[in-house]
Amino acid sequence: MIFPWQVSYDLIKPVMDLGFEIIENPNVTEVKAGGAINFVALEPGKILIPAGNPNTKKLLEDAGVECIEVKLTEIAKAWGAIHCMSAFLKRDPI
């Protein structure tokens, strides 16, 4: 998922050429205030996403992604998000 106003075509084109589906999130409020595209992939097709972003969740679910919502009101007060809480996850190779 990308916020199209912040990502150039030259950056996304090589990713698309590798066969990845790009989902554009045009919801400025959810992206900026809700941290909607700051999520963590747990496994292919399954993510942790900040609660309170219904339009983003629908876009992802319509693309087949399972979204587990996490309430982040307290960490958001310090401008934190899911990545701030998780650091790096070690995943099994796909």
Give the position of tokens 């009101």.
73
Cβ–Cβ under 8 Å, residues 70 and 52: no
Kindly give the confidence (pLDDT) of every residue in the chain, 94 residues in length, as a single tens digit, with 9 standing for 90 and above.
999 888 888 999 999 999 999 999 999 999 988 888 888 888 889 999 999 999 999 999 999 999 999 988 777 776 667 777 776 667 677 7
- Percentages helix, strand, coil for the chain (3-state, rounded to 5) are 35, 15, 45
Strands (E), the chain: 40-43, 46-50, 66-70
Rounded to whole angstroms, the Cα distance separating 58 from 80 reads 23
Active site residues: 84
pTM over 0.85: no
